[in-house]
Homo-oligomer: A and B are copies of this chain.
Amino acid sequence: MENTTKEKILDAALVSFAENGYKGTNLRDLAAGMGLSKSALYKHYQSKEDIRGAVIDRMEAYYAAHFGSPENTPPAPETCEGLLAMTMRMLDFTLHDEKVILTRRLLLTEQFHDERTRRLATLHFLTGTKDIYEKIFAEMMRKGILKNGDPGMLAFAYTAPITALVHLCDREPEKEPEIVEQLEAFIRHFIGTYRANEGSNEKP
């Protein structure tokens, strides 16, 4: 995107809202942190609430652009090992991209403040990820890679523990190495449980 002052303010606001909370964010420090005076903020936004709204707008737009549309669903892996690799690749991004980390933190800590944040939190932490893997699992079942079953239930059973460990990593980043091991162990366990039997490669 453009690197306008208006956009830079949102960047700084995301950081501050995530780290200090909305109430704990001080407009003077926020502006000073980017070499501006507090009054300058009011040339671009009408109020502190207005800034919060714009931050949420951008989060919504970002999510819609990257995960919201069906064509953004990654192609289903051809093997269970491919599923492991793909998930670990997505996790590597999710666990280290600063903007994504801050977004999660903001959604977690401010989810009870307004309706839009609440909805976004559910999307990020539950339904969004689940829907993506539901499509993938449905495809993998069709291809005979996974046992047949309810792909939605499977996706939920897969993504919820992963999301829990992502949250743990946000909370205790110093334990990342062990957590990543746990993530991989869980995925292997999952694959071991739901992988299709070798003898049933026929398709109807």
How long is the Cα–Cα vector from A161 to B154 in the complex, in angstroms?
Answer: 11
What 5 A-B pairs come out closest when comparing CB atoms? A160-B161, A23-B23, A160-B164, A23-B24, A109-B109
Contact A156:B161 (CB < 8 A) given known A108-B108, A112-B171, A172-B118: yes
This chain: how many copies in the complex? 2
A-B contact pairs, 28 of them (CB 8 A): A21-B21, A23-B23, A108-B109, A108-B111, A109-B110, A109-B112, A111-B171, A112-B171, A118-B171, A121-B171, A122-B171, A122-B172, A126-B164, A126-B168, A153-B185, A153-B186, A153-B189, A156-B161, A157-B157, A157-B161, A157-B190, A160-B160, A160-B161, A160-B164, A160-B165, A163-B164, A164-B164, A193-B193
B-chain residues with CB within 8 Å of residue A160 when the two chains form the complex = 160-161, 163-165
With both beta carbons as reference points, the residue of chain B lying nearest to A25 in the complex is identified as: B23
Find residues 49-108 in chain A having any chain B CB closer than 8 Å to their own CB: 105, 108
Contact A189:B109 (CB < 8 A) given known A125-B167, A168-B122: no
